[in-house]
Chains A and B, each alone.
Chain A
């Protein structure tokens, strides 16, 4: 009997190759291709008066240079606004090369193709641009004040204003026995994958085909964009994703200017062309996320139950808005988490600034939503003097309330209806795992040693596996090898392992015989992409459905060959056999042979499959409604998202003198439905937690008021090292399967990072007794907060002492 693979901690088949340095990334391809360097704006906001490229033409090794004036047809139009929305009344996107005006430092102005990148950079440094600098709009406050405009024709710098409400939140707040208001802020960070963006293109004039390799999260999206921009038929363009060195959201944006300019150049020059983004470029010309100002008004009862909650968000989306309103919509809706306020209202404004564009970064607006909700929960608990876990529990949706309709519209335009979950049990597990109820003794013990510790918790619900669809194609070769193609791309998640596990189980074949290919439009032309924690849900389900088709066909063919009834057959270890009678078994490879009647024999195996040996001579070789080959292709398209959930707790120690924050314990309980591979899920959690620690304690985009990014390098953008992330992450799982897909899977990719800002704010606040309203937080900022708190308490001298710093959080309190 084949061992069941689903749910097993199977070693990733990807790792041997990747860890030995045998990965093939975009920059490893097409050695000898022409290489690109891009002239990027040094100004955050300026009119382009003149561009003089003449000095470049003398540089030895330069092949071509493009500016906006050289672009024609669709290439001269703005890049697409990928996700329109009725509320997005003032959507603006950039041109592939800046037309007349630049709106952020790093915006592409000229595109140089040369024999190598060194020469291309030499050439870029010779291009002379005359700018007329304009005032830069940097930060949410500047955008809101609208003293200056990013785009002349966008009043107030507002691209969109969207309000959603259930019930009458204002009235509920006004009538509530207790009320609080909070002003909150989350700063920018970014995906910062190890591999930046990159594209290679090769035009084959003989075949009239364009092949593009891109480091993307959507090969089908890039294909459609390239075909449209270059006036090609979709059938002329293949897009292949080789190994991708991380994405975390930034590579779902498409097409990047370079992603269409490189194929354009390859066609124009008749030679392969390559663009490999460097780190500095990545900081100033890809995408960021997270920057928001938030205001919360909340009314609640004596138990801390949310009677009414009203949220205002000001979302900084940067200079352009190609990815639409996805991030602020997710913040607005996923702020609800596992809770059920009686009335809820949220309104956001999405604002232009003269900074890098904002598009989804792992978590995609949820970290901000969780921040505002969990900060509110902690503030309520502090106000009422109740346990923070207890206040949350009082607001939980109960297990018998699923499916639970939050009466909002989610990012996919569909109702926000939670499919399944058990939040009380998650909280119980978390409390047990971290020792929540015993923490006061830990705190007292530490205090006796002169140490200051705090504990925090944060809960989230994540809508995962959004549509519209994904597909899978499975082909059993005559060798018995099973070839699986999914259209969705991989950037390190372990898809080849997880999907092979599903196929091995569904089809009854050895795991080792299954080979998965992803993100290659030649193999699967219909696909959406890798984002929104959707790969396991969407492609996993499609793979299962396609495998079931293959199995049905295999049983049908084998029933004929074995002269048995289909329902008496099973597939075990790659062989079809009569249940309980393995002696009469037929290898799947042989079934594949039988499935394809041949006229020509080219080897011993195919002799068995010629028209003289296969099939009933009284019937057509391929029956009506059938097709040759042992293949299956199916698509999965859910009516709505499935909702994963989790809760994290962290214990921190804050240095009373230096205000440094040390992580003592980190605990996670996580529910992503059926676990395909717990090791991969835990790896996702570990990576997410590490990225979350970065976002909470280290990373920010330090723009000055003129719009220069001051920390555009890994020296000053503080991605945590292994020394900064918890040595051990304690993980416990809960599995509440989703009723929406065949395997009960929910997504897990983004989860680890979602609660971090809220979580660390909770723990640091607990350790310090000072309200934390803005994340990330550095030791320098914590020191400043201590001083201000001490000044407010009227004792500056005691700013450093353990006792005096534990005071009640200061709130706008109103009680009646």
Chain B
């Protein structure tokens, strides 16, 4: 479990990093390395060039305002998790990040890295999809904004180009009067979930849920219609059935597809009720 040979550059500025990426067709960005380094060690990935952006200090930020939370490429999960202002502006961040792996991994892993790694079993891509946020990508050609709906194109595949660095993820602020929830069942604490659901409910206005580990890419579903009359048994069941038409829960060594479908129903109900209740408590 030792990586194949690769070149390593450690740029001191974003421009240097972008030039390095532009110089090689087979380059990879190294930030927290929590996914990339194991892939390298198992020789499942063997890029010719690694561009280590950890020296680019200005990318390590978490900024919140009324619009939402901006997370820089070098902000560690821990930084985002611990940021009270971010938790106030978009509570889903803290609720989801608590479930991301373990403290030691969160201390190193980056939230932006997790998003663009585009693992549909991970919490943060599902949060970006649910909140309809976006990622800002930079290359030597300039910057572009990739909406969540266009970012996740396949299993572990994002629309980020090989010469681009995802410099920022933007999570829109939670609208007033809304409640949120993240529910998941994982085999062990901190594992990738067998099924996960994130929900935003704004009573009387709308409701959305997004899913992880039961689909190839993060799937967000508008269940406003189903929730119009509140989270009754029938309403949450209908919401789950609607979601299931868009999901494809896999069978693997940890769980059957049947069980995951069952969890979609159970966790959709839990998440919608919990978000609904929170919205009402906030409203008081």
Question: Interface on A for B, CB 8 Å cutoff?
Answer: 117-118, 121-122, 125, 278-280, 657-660, 698, 700, 702, 710-711, 716, 718, 720-721, 723-724, 778-780, 783-784, 787
Contact = CB atoms under 8 A, between A and B. Distances in A.
A657 B266 contact: yes
Given A716-B253, A780-B255, A783-B259, A660 B185 contact: yes
Contacts of A723: 188-190
A778 B254 CA distance: 8
25 contacts: A117-B2, A121-B2, A122-B4, A122-B5, A125-B4, A278-B1, A280-B1, A658-B185, A660-B185, A702-B253, A718-B188, A718-B254, A720-B188, A721-B189, A723-B189, A723-B190, A724-B189, A779-B255, A783-B256, A783-B258, A783-B259, A783-B262, A784-B256, A784-B259, A787-B258
Interface string B121-144: 000000000000000000000000
B118 interface: no
Contacts of B47: none
A702 B2 CA distance: 24
A778 to B, nearest CB: 7
Interface string B179-209: 0000001011111001000000000000000
Interface in B1-58: 1-5, 42-43
B217 interface: no
A13 B187 CA distance: 36
B211 to A, nearest CB: 16
B185 A779 contact: yes
B259 A780 contact: yes
Contacts of A702: 253
A122 B43 CA distance: 10
A718 B5 contact: no
Most chain A CB within 10 A, of B4, B262, B263, is at B262
Nearest to A659: B259
A417 to B, nearest CB: 43
Interface in B215-271: 253-256, 258-259, 262-263, 266-267
A778 B259 CA distance: 11
Contacts of A278: 1
Nearest to B266: A657
A780 B3 contact: no
A657 B183 CA distance: 13
B161 to A, nearest CB: 28
B253 A658 contact: no
A783 B188 CA distance: 17
Contacts of A778: 187, 254-255
Given A118-B5, A698-B188, A721-B188, 9 more contacts: A117-B2, A121-B2, A122-B5, A658-B267, A659-B259, A779-B194, A779-B255, A779-B259, A783-B258
A711 B2 contact: no
A780 B252 CA distance: 11
A711 B252 CA distance: 11
Contacts of A121: 1-2, 4, 43
Nearest to B251: A780
B263 A658 contact: yes
B259 A711 contact: no
A711 B253 contact: yes
A724 B255 contact: no
Contacts of A658: 185, 263, 266-267
Contacts of B102: 721
B274 to A, nearest CB: 14
A780 B256 contact: yes
B2 A118 contact: yes
B266 to A, nearest CB: 5
A710 B253 contact: yes
A710 B253 CA distance: 8
A369 to B, nearest CB: 27
A721 B190 contact: yes
Contacts of A117: 2
A117 B2 CA distance: 7
A720 B4 CA distance: 31
B38 to A, nearest CB: 8
B183 to A, nearest CB: 10
Nearest to B257: A780
B43 A125 contact: yes
A121 B5 CA distance: 10
A660 B187 CA distance: 9
A23 B253 CA distance: 36
A279 B1 contact: yes
A718 B3 contact: no
B253 A280 contact: no
A711 B5 CA distance: 26
A780 B254 contact: yes
A718 B186 CA distance: 11
Nearest to A720: B188
Interface in B89-120: 102
Contacts of B4: 121-122, 125
Interchain residue pairs A-B with the least CB separation, the first 4: A723-B189, A780-B255, A780-B259, A702-B253
Nearest to A279: B1
Most chain B CB within 10 A, of A280, A658, A723, A784, is at A658
Contacts of B5: 118, 122
B58 to A, nearest CB: 33
Contacts of A659: 259
A786 to B, nearest CB: 10
B107 to A, nearest CB: 16
A677 B55 CA distance: 51
B253 to A, nearest CB: 4
A787 B256 CA distance: 13
A785 to B, nearest CB: 11
A122 B2 CA distance: 9
B85 to A, nearest CB: 29
A103 to B, nearest CB: 23
Contacts of A787: 258
Given A279-B1, A780-B194, A718 B187 contact: yes
A690 to B, nearest CB: 13
A542 to B, nearest CB: 41
Most chain A CB within 10 A, of B1, B42, B258, is at B1
B253 A724 contact: no
A716 B187 CA distance: 10
Nearest to A658: B185
Nearest to A703: B253
Contacts of B253: 700, 702, 710-711, 716
A484 to B, nearest CB: 39
B221 to A, nearest CB: 21
A779 B258 CA distance: 12
Given A122-B4, A279-B1, A280-B1, A698 B266 contact: no
Contacts of A711: 253
Contacts of A716: 253-254
Contacts of B190: 721, 723
Nearest to A799: B262
Given A658-B266, A778-B254, A784-B259, A698 B187 contact: yes
Nearest to B259: A780
B66 to A, nearest CB: 37
B178 to A, nearest CB: 25
Nearest to A787: B258
Contacts of A660: 185
A405 to B, nearest CB: 45
B185 to A, nearest CB: 5
Nearest to A120: B2
Given A280-B42, A778-B254, A118 B259 contact: no
A517 to B, nearest CB: 33
A660 B262 CA distance: 13
A125 B4 CA distance: 10
Most chain A CB within 10 A, of B102, B266, B267, is at B266
Most chain A CB within 10 A, of B4, B43, B254, is at B254
B262 to A, nearest CB: 6
B191 A718 contact: yes
Nearest to B253: A702
Nearest to A702: B253
